[in-house]
Amino acid sequence: MSLATSDTTEAAPGAPANLGVEPVSGALGAVIRGVDLANLDDDAFAAIYAAFLKYGVIFLEDQQLSPDQYVAFARRFGPLADYPFAKGMDGRPEIVEIVKEPHQTSNFGGMWHTDTTYQPNPPKATMLYAVQTPTTGGDTLFADMRLAYRKLSTGMQVLLAGLKAVNSSSLNASALRGDHLKGGAMGAKADAKPVLEAEHPVVRTHPETGAKALYVNPSHTVRFVGFTREESLPLLEFLYAHSIKPEFTCRFRWRPGSLAIWDNRSTQHCAINDYDGHRRVMRRVTIGGAAEL
């Protein structure tokens, strides 16, 4: 088994009898068992979607998905969106291949972040499908920003309630994308804007569940609106450290055929860079978000 699991597998109400939901930590994350995403009926999808909302990130293993099948499954979550800086696959521009070659020492997404919060309408969700993985290493960490919010003091929750933050694609861009869009196997979009910026509430209310979550991250959040960066950093750095406490996280070990789907409205994640000398190929699809912040 590729990650730590609980002792019980939950039945999925209304879903096929062999479909199970197995939580992977006390905070967030669950493995979905007994489903073939290439042949998925409506009841099984409803159970998968319910688990996605409940656990923040879900994992499915041993899937065999062609690019067409992958995109068809992703569309069930909502309209797809482009990643603003990288070109898509030939023939399937909805899919961005994230590649680390053996000679590269940096990785793509190797810092804690919530995807593209520098956009006015950040993604609803992101999917990542493993094509080629190292024998060991290359895991991904996820953090539950709902739980991080709930564990703040009442006073801190009141303070944050009225704040907005500026998010920018220029902050930590080198660490996040490194040389992968310059000289690696991934290609940069020729028409990409040099910098994208957007303002969002520091505490976000989930449009489907109503849960509140912290909505700042060290990779994109620059400062609070109306404050300088120097004034903002002490509080931001506290929130960054608080939100990735071990008890708020889970960890996933990839292997070919693994698929992760995370709720970009309630989680953040970090790709661990511990597999220099090995090739890793992942396929990413982004589900578009609405202006409900």
Q: Token pair of 216, please?
A: 């700042």
What are the tens digits of pLDDT across the range 30-55? 999 999 999 999 999 999 999 999 99
Active site residue 191: no
How far is Cα 142 from Cα 262, in angstroms, rounded to an integer? 9
Average of per-residue pLDDT values in the chain = 90
pLDDT score at 181? 62
Confidence (pTM): 0.91
pLDDT score at 290? 73
CB count in 10 Å sphere of residue 205: 14
Active site residue 204: no
Query: Going by CATH, does the domain composed of 10-287 fall within 3.60.130.10?
Result: yes
DSSP codes joined into one string, 160-178: HHT-EEEEETTTTHHHHHT
What DSSP state is assigned to residue 189? -
Which candidate in 115, 177, 263, 265 is catalytic?
115
What does each C-alpha distance from 136 to 31, 62, 89, 111, 275 come to in angstroms? 20, 17, 26, 19, 7
For the chain, which residues score pLDDT lower than 70?
Answer: 1-17, 174-186, 189-191, 291-293
The alpha carbon of residue 121 and the mean position of all alpha carbons in its chain are separated, in whole angstroms, by: 15
What are the tens digits of pLDDT across the range 172-219? 776 555 565 655 566 776 667 788 999 999 999 999 999 999 999 999
Which candidate in 177, 265, 283, 284 is catalytic?
284
Residues in CB range of 237: below 8 A, 6 or more apart: 218
Active site residue 242: no
Which candidate in 113, 200, 265, 280 is catalytic?
113
pLDDT score at 3? 38
Active site residue 68: no
What does each C-alpha distance from 248 to 14, 91, 188, 222, 242 come to in angstroms? 30, 39, 34, 23, 9
Q: Token pair of 9, please?
A: 């597998």
pLDDT score at 258? 98
Pairing of strands 20-23, 30-33: antiparallel
pLDDT score at 125? 98
pLDDT score at 16? 62
pLDDT score at 6? 40
